[in-house]
Structure 1
Amino acid sequence: MVSSLQLRNIRKSFGRQDVLKGVSLTISPGEVHALLGANGAGKSTLMKILSGDYSKDSGTITLNGSEVSVASPRDAIRLGIEMVVQEPDTALVPSLTVAENVTMEDLLSGPSFISWNNRRKKARQHLQLVGLSISTEKLISECSLAEKQLILLARALSKHASFIILDEPTAALSQNETDRLFSVINSLKKQGIGFVFISHRLPEIFKLCDRITVLKDGNDVLSAPTTSTNADEVIQHMIGELLILEKEHVTNKKDAVLLEAHSFHVPKTGQNVSFKLHEGEVVGIAGLVGAGKTETARALFGADLSPDSLSVHGVQKRWRSPKDAVANGLSFVPEERRKEGIITSFSLRDNLAIPSFSKFTSKGFLSSSSIEKAAAEWIQKLGIKAESTSVPAGLLSGGNQQKAAIGKWLLKGGDIFLFDEPTKGIDIGAKEDVFSLIKTLASEGKGILYFTSELNELFTVADRILVLYNGEITAQFTREEATYEKIMHAATGGQHVTAISS
């Protein structure tokens, strides 16, 4: 019988930044232990240490009362520690079958002679343990997201895992799929398997988990049985001291409505959203992982087609593609800038000019000199640090890539901007540049929808704040009404926990 897995006084720094400052965590067999914390609290780093991806600077990890070394993912697997990642596609091979993915370990470290009948039989046995009835010959590329989650869980069991880390496993699941996953977890719990459950969704935490640990700024600030705490206490520990609004915030909001959504259907969340965006206004749309921010932004821009129309400058419009949205003055800066915001192999000059090629075309020919001149002008305006306009965008820093992703829309022109996690992966100085740029756009009468999970940023840029939870706008605050605590309460589904409790 495996006893508890204990992490004691774990410390980790990256350069001068202390990410973990002496964190302790105990995972017991047959227990689901929730690990909570705002962005940057240290959750991911702690779990990467436990799964062998990072090495700890100091502290101990013990199993069955003896100190163990987890210096690599192979060590973690040997000790019975498995991680089911948030994005299953990064851990599965789409061109292989379900059986091949479930029994991948046999291919890597099993006998040289491979019995495919045995592998299929083993895969079926472990799929049965997670309640998944699909053909073992089905390709992963043909599986749904919920099926992929369970396939990863089956693979963990095939390696004789005793402790399984689940990183935001319900972020993209429907309620029925979530209920099914919870049923599987509860069944495995009875077999003595211990879980670490990372989630921002408090209703799920209080429904499923036996114990809660909260991290804040690299410290464990709360560890308690779920039954002895409540949503308000958890949220308070997650945020610590309440933030105070900047006193000198200047709003540029006018009466004119630039964009209005009325029961606008978002295909990938299955929910409808309603809001208005005024001239010169920055509307912050807050949401944690799995809230549906990106899905909502993409639908508003026409990247995921909705059957519903939007009111743009008072005229009803329905997008057939993003091209329609751009033609009507919308610009979209996506979260994944390297995949969707810029073309890394293209020059900085060409990235800035792509949406505006028609401006530089005469009689079917592009004017290279005009593009060069315009690109150089915007590089200077945006403060992009690059050796020349011809440098490949992929060689720029994250902050300069983001400026390029924004700059191409400024060159194009437009009056409605959608920013999805615009400060993701950039340094503090670049963040300040992005905030300054957004304030400038608002002062020029542009309307900005600012989608973010970095809730503190809302107090820097937003005039008004909407909160998304499970794809729905569950709360709305004026700048004067908003507090970090209120936003976090709505963003974690705290109101649902309160309703259940009462």
Structure 2
Amino acid sequence: MAALLEMRDISKAFSGVKALDAARFEVNEGEIHALLGANGAGKSTLMKILSGAYTPDSGDILLRGEKKRYQTPREAKQHGIHCVYQEVDTAIVYQLSVAENILLDRLSGGGSFFVNKRLLEKEAGAVLHRIGAGNLSLGLPASSLSLAEKQLVLIARALLQKAEILILDEPTAPLSLSEADRLFEVMEELKKEGVGIVFISHRLPEVFHVSDRITVMRDGRTIGIQEKEETAPEEVVEKMLGRSFKEEFVKKPAEKGGLLYEVKGLDDGRKLRSIDLHVREGEVVGIVGLVGAGKTELAKALFGASTVANGSCLLKGKEIRVRSPRDAVKNGMALVPEERRKEGLFIHESVQHNLSFASLRDISKRLWINARAERELARERIKTLGIRTAHERVAANDLSGGNQQKVSIGKWLTEDASLFLFDEPTKGVDVGAKKEIFSLIQSLAQEGKGILYFSCEIQEILAISDRILVMYDGQIVTEMRAAEATQETILLYASGGTAANESKDVRLTV
């Protein structure tokens, strides 16, 4: 089969660090080709070169055998290359409606000054139905969408443009199981139509379920290209990391202290209803639920990032009022949010400024920041967390997703914080970085910190938690000890089931 796309000997460097070193990649017509690698391996850089966001320092791109070089994403789109990036907030226009966002490429491409709104909404509605999102209101402002809904809008936008090559960068990260299954169906339909699909994912079960071939990258180089049937998940992970890896995380016990934090009757008047929970010193409490269950809403409400109608919070036995994130930080609370680029980082500021943000009182005198102390603090945390960066002055925007997440976590590593809220901290993170994050959370628990760990990944919740709370439709529906919990039982409750149904066959598909 002739290659639809070939990328040969692609090299690219940023700030003296080589991101790509003679990397190669190819996609055939009607093929789903998975592109894998640890965070920082060069996957996103390679795809940004393909989609016109970056230009390579050297190397060739061939489309149907003809050499191409794109200076802008618009030029790449004109040749049928479309990308749905992992960072959805960089591509969504909040002031526009759902329909307008879906047709954004067409509206910005010139042509008639007048727009037929009815026809526009008909086309947008048709493509949403195609991916199983027909219930999404076309007139809604994009600013009101959830993360999963934003991702679906971007996928719909790409599908509308008759892409020859569709790049999907972690597309299922914010999706529920049913939404992901529908996306896979759409990918199969596009494959039959001859579209070449580049599928980037850290979820190996998905990769082996949907892809035809797998390319593995490490340290900016292409390690190998194989048919899916010729390899196995263990072999892929070993190629990604350059060593054998045992994925299971072995949790070490942390001594539990007294009651640290307690929430009674929390209600936000919208999604959350009658939330009761507590955390002890040194305890990791997992809060698990499917997409839309209310986990992120709860994390934001506890941290003062959204308003609360009723309820009380006690920290170390004393009632606290958290009306804003500033109140939360003053009371020793730290939040690592789900949308790290939008809410967890000053994305265009340096790694140094991001890491020192929560410690400014310790490194400043009156209005003056001690630059030397800030630099030393940043370097220490870069070393402790294993953040891959040329130096502390590199902008957070230039780091890989996993390293951005480490920075987002690292800024809270202060003595003042006693309660940590982690909202989907491993989303878009490779298996190696995931284990490092788990180890960091464990070390915090061993220091006597309280941890609330919010995730829809049931295996993660089982691995890291001491106690598990399951959410469904804005409520905590059950509590269980991690040692007694199973994936099937958690999924049962997370799907709205009850104890009376536990004998039924509940199958987890991940």
What TM-score do you get using the length of structure 1 for normalisation? 0.63
Correspondence for 1:153 among 146, 152, 155: 155
- The Cα shift of 1:424 comes to 8.9
Residues 329, 124 of structure 1: CA spacing in aligned structure 2 closer, same or farther, 3 A cutoff?
closer
3-state DSSP class of the match of 1:114?
coil
Contact 1:333 1:422 in 2 (8 A): no
Structure 1 position 427 matched with structure 2 position 430: no
Find the partner of 1:463 among 417, 420, 443: 443
How many angstroms does 1:427 deviate by? 3.2
Hey, what does 1:96 align to over in structure 2?
96
Alignment of 1:65 with 2:29, yes or no, is: no
Tell me which residue corresponds to 1:330.
333
Paired with 1:138 and 1:2, the residues of 2 have a C-alpha distance of 43
- Counterpart in 2 of 1:17? 17
Q: Residue 52 of structure 1 aligns to which amino acid in structure 2?
A: G
Gaps of 5+ in 2: 247-251, 395-402, 446-450, 467-506
Instruction: Give the aligned partner of residue 106 of structure 1.
Output: 106
Equivalent residue number for residue 187 of structure 2: 185
Q: Measure how far apart 1:70 and its partner are.
A: 2.3
- Structure 1 residue 81 displacement after superposition: 0.4
Identical aligned residues as a percent = 39
Q: Secondary structure at the residue paired with 1:384? A: helix
What secondary structure sits across from 2:108 in the alignment?
helix
Task: Say whether 1:197 aligns with 2:199.
Answer: yes
Cα contact 2:50–2:76 (8 A) shared by 1:
yes
- CA 447–161 in structure 1, closer or farther in 2 if over 3 Å, else same: closer
Residue-by-residue CA offset, 1:399-457 (whole Å, 9 max, x unaligned): 59x99xxxxxxxxxxxxxxxxx996979359999999999984xx99787896754575
8 Å CA contact 2:24, 2:222 repeated in 1: yes
Please report how far the alpha carbon of residue 26 of structure 1 lies from its aligned counterpart in structure 2 after TM superposition: 1.4
Cα distance in 2 for partners of 1:122, 1:241 equals 49
Deviation at 1:218, TM superposition (A): 0.8
Question: Is the alpha carbon distance of 1:121 and 1:237 closer, same or farther for their aligned partners in structure 2, counting shifts above 3 Å?
Answer: same
| Aligned pairs for 1:63-462 within 5 A | 63-116=63-116, 117-133=118-134, 136-241=138-243, 256=257, 259=260, 277-278=281-282, 301=303, 303=305, 313=316, 322=325, 325-326=328-329, 328-332=331-335, 373=365, 379-380=369-370, 383-384=373-374, 399=378, 427=391, 441=415, 453=429, 454-455=433-434
Structure 1 letter corresponding to 2:199: F
User: 1:272-324 CA deviation, whole Å, 9 max, x = no partner?
Assistant: 9998653xx9x9x9xxxx9x998897576454689999885588999776567
Report the counterpart of residue 43 of structure 1 in structure 2. 43
Q: Name the SS of the counterpart of 1:234 in structure 2.
A: helix
In structure 2, what residue type is equivalent to 1:187? E
Specify the structure having the higher radius of gyration (Cα).
1
Asked whether the 8 Å contact 2:332–2:419 carries over to 1, the reply is no
CA deviation after TM superposition for structure 1 residue 210, in Å = 1.9
Contact 1:468–1:475 (CA under 8 A) maintained in structure 2: no
Distance change (3 Å), C-alpha of 1:315 and 1:152: same
**Contact 1:2/1:162 (<8 A) preserved:** no
Q: In the alignment, what sits opposite 1:55?
A: 55
Deviations 1:314-358 (A, max 9, x none): 88999776567556543457685995678999xx9xx989999xx
CA RMSD of the aligned region, Å? 5.6
Tell me, yes or no, if the aligned pair for 2:32 and 2:191 is still in contact at 8 Å.
yes
Distance 1:422 1:56 in 2: 27
Displacement of 1:260: 7.2
Task: Provide the C-alpha distance between the structure 2 equivalents of 1:336 and 1:500, rounded to a whole number of angstroms.
Answer: 28
Distance 1:299 1:276, change over 3 A: farther
The farther-off stretch of 183-192 and 302-311 is: 302-311
Q: Does structure 2 retain, via aligned residues, the 8 Å contact 1:99–1:120?
A: yes
The separation in 2 between residues aligned to 1:71 and 1:329, in whole angstroms, is: 47
Is the 2:332–2:418 contact (alpha carbons within 8 Å) kept by the matching residues of 1? Answer: no
**Count of matched residue positions in the alignment of Structure 1 and Structure 2:** 417
Amino acid at match of 1:474: L
What secondary structure is seen at the aligned counterpart in 2 of 1:164?
A: strand
**In structure 2, do the counterparts of structure 1 residues 326 and 398 end up closer, same or farther at CA, with 3 Å as the change threshold?**
closer
- Does the CA contact (< 8 Å) of 1:338 and 1:344 recur in 2? no
Instruction: Identify which range, 29-38 or 46-55, moves more after superposition.
Output: 29-38
Deviation at 1:54?
Answer: 0.6
**Structure 1 residues 336 and 300: alpha-carbon distance in aligned structure 2, compared to 1, 3 A threshold:** same
Looking at structure 2, the residues matched to 436 and 108 of structure 1 have their Cα atoms a distance apart, in angstroms, of: 40
Please name the residue that 1:484 is paired with.
none
Asked if 1 retains the 8 angstrom alpha-carbon contact of 2:387 and 2:407, the reply is no
Amino acid at match of 1:76: A
What is the distance in 1 between the residues matched to 2:272 and 2:16? 40
Which one-letter code corresponds to 1:100 in the other structure?
Answer: E
Deviations 1:45-95 (A, max 9, x none): 001000001111222211222222223212211221001122334323233
Question: Given that residues 98 and 141 in structure 2 are in contact (C-alpha distance below 8 angstroms), is that contact kept between their aligned partners in structure 1?
Answer: yes
| Displacement after TM superposition at 1:97 (Å) | 3.4
CA distance in 1, matches of 2:154, 2:411: 42
Letter in structure 2 aligned against 1:383: A
- Supply the distance in 2 between the matched residues of 1:65 and 1:324 (Cα, whole angstroms): 59
- Structure 1 residue 193, shift from structure 2 partner: 1.4
Q: Given residue 241 of structure 2, which amino acid in structure 1 is its aligned partner?
A: I
In 2 relative to 1, CA 189–427 (structure 1 residues): closer, same or farther, beyond 3 Å? same
TM-aligned CA deviation for residue 259 of structure 1: 4.4
Shift of the alpha carbon at 1:148? 3.5
> What is residue 363 of structure 1 aligned with on the other side?
none
TM-score normalised per structure 2: 0.62
Aligned partner letter, 1:183: E
Displacement after TM superposition at 1:241 (Å)? 2.7
Letter paired with 2:155: L
Partners of 2:393 and 2:359 in 1: how far apart?
Answer: 27
Helix, strand or coil at the partner of 1:204: helix
Could you tell me whether the CA contact under 8 Å between 1:40 and 1:217 is conserved in 2? yes
The amino acid of 1:181's aligned partner reads L
Closer/same/farther in 2, CA of residues 35 and 275 from structure 1, 3 Å limit: farther
**AA aligned opposite 2:80:** G
